[in-house]
Amino acid sequence: MNALVRLCSVAALLVCASLPAFSSARAQGLEVVPVNVQLAPGQQATTLTVTNRNADKVSFQVRGFSWQQDAKGDDVLAPTDALMSSPPIATVQPGASQVVRLVLRQPPQGREGTYRIIFDQLPTPSEPGMIHVLIRLSIPVFAEPASRVVPEVTWRISNDAGRWWLVATNHGTRHLTVSKMKLVAPDGQELPVEVKAPPHILAGATRRWPIQAKAGLSPNEVAHLTADADVGAIDQRITVDTGP
């Protein structure tokens, strides 16, 4: 496989997990819990539980990737041995469960460590006339260092090639997860924000989301952003950039 893997660009049924830490992901009779892993300071191990609710046995593979966000805010994964799984490959009988142990080999220093666990269902022998759609789960893993880490996000509205964007830059040392974003123009018109991926803003990274504005925005106008976040509500005035 390529050294770098862009998230959500695989030929499989992919579930990008961004649910509360103790939620479960269910797809085609498979259940994985939790789907959002948070390692506290000093914690270097945790577990996932995979339950097979199918009538047939299911085999799967678990791999660890480091997780960064590029200049455009896209998630980029790279294979790593810093986050190990045991067992890396397993088969679960109908109605049974398998515990997968995750081990972080080195604790992060100074800033939150960010990883993803890729859970792949392995193919079974094909049957005539049958098409099997394989499951892929992408599970975020956040590891806190011994020092205190916090997000520090600034927001702006910018224009790129004639399209408006809501842009967030995280200058802090911890990720921020946002949901239910609502952007309102100065005239009271709601400006729908197009969110197609889990809205994690990693430490040191920039994310942007297209704004579905029917009318153009003007430089120095002030819009109003509200959203839910994992560290509290967001209620902020944002000035439209004066330049591209």
Which CATH superfamily hosts domain 153-239? Immunoglobulins (2.60.40.10)
Considering only the C-alpha atoms of the chain, give the largest distance between any 2 of them, rounded to a whole number of Å. 63
Is 189:212 a contact under the CB 8 Å cutoff?
A: no
- 181, amino acid identity: M
pTM higher than 0.85? no
Q: Residue 34: what pLDDT? A: 93
Q: Residue 129: what pLDDT? A: 56
Q: Residue 127: what pLDDT? A: 58
Residues in the chain: 244
Rounded Cα–Cα distance for residues 54 and 186 (Å): 52
Instruction: Render 77-101 in DSSP notation, one character per residue.
Output: EEE-SSEEEESSEEEE-TT-EEEEE
Q: Residue 65: what pLDDT? A: 98
- Evaluate whether 5-143 and 153-239 have a shared fold: yes
Sign of the Cα torsion 187, 188, 194, 195 reads positive
Q: Residue 236: what pLDDT? A: 94
Q: Residue 135: what pLDDT? A: 86
Is 129:173 a contact under the CB 8 Å cutoff?
A: no
Rounded Cα–Cα distance for residues 192 and 206 (Å): 20
Q: State the Rg of the chain over Cα.
A: 20
Q: Residue 25: what pLDDT? A: 52
Q: Residue ranges per domain, the chain?
A: 5-143, 153-239
* Tens-binned pLDDT, residue by residue, of the chain (244 aa): 333 433 333 333 444 444 444 444 545 578 999 989 999 999 999 999 999 998 889 999 999 999 999 988 889 999 999 999 999 999 999 999 999 999 999 999 999 999 999 999 998 776 555 556 688 999 999 999 999 999 999 999 998 888 899 999 999 999 999 999 999 988 888 999 998 777 899 999 999 999 987 666 788 899 999 999 999 999 999 988 866 5
Q: Residue 174: what pLDDT? A: 97
37-67 in b/e form (b: 16+ CB < 10 A) is: bebeeeeeebebebbbeeeeebebebbbbbb
Is 56:29 a contact under the CB 8 Å cutoff?
A: no
ω into 88 cis (within 30 of 0): no
Q: Residue 168 is inside which H or E element, if any?
A: strand 163-170
* CATH architecture label of 5-143: Sandwich (2.60)
Is 213:183 a contact under the CB 8 Å cutoff?
A: no
Rounded Cα–Cα distance for residues 154 and 170 (Å): 7
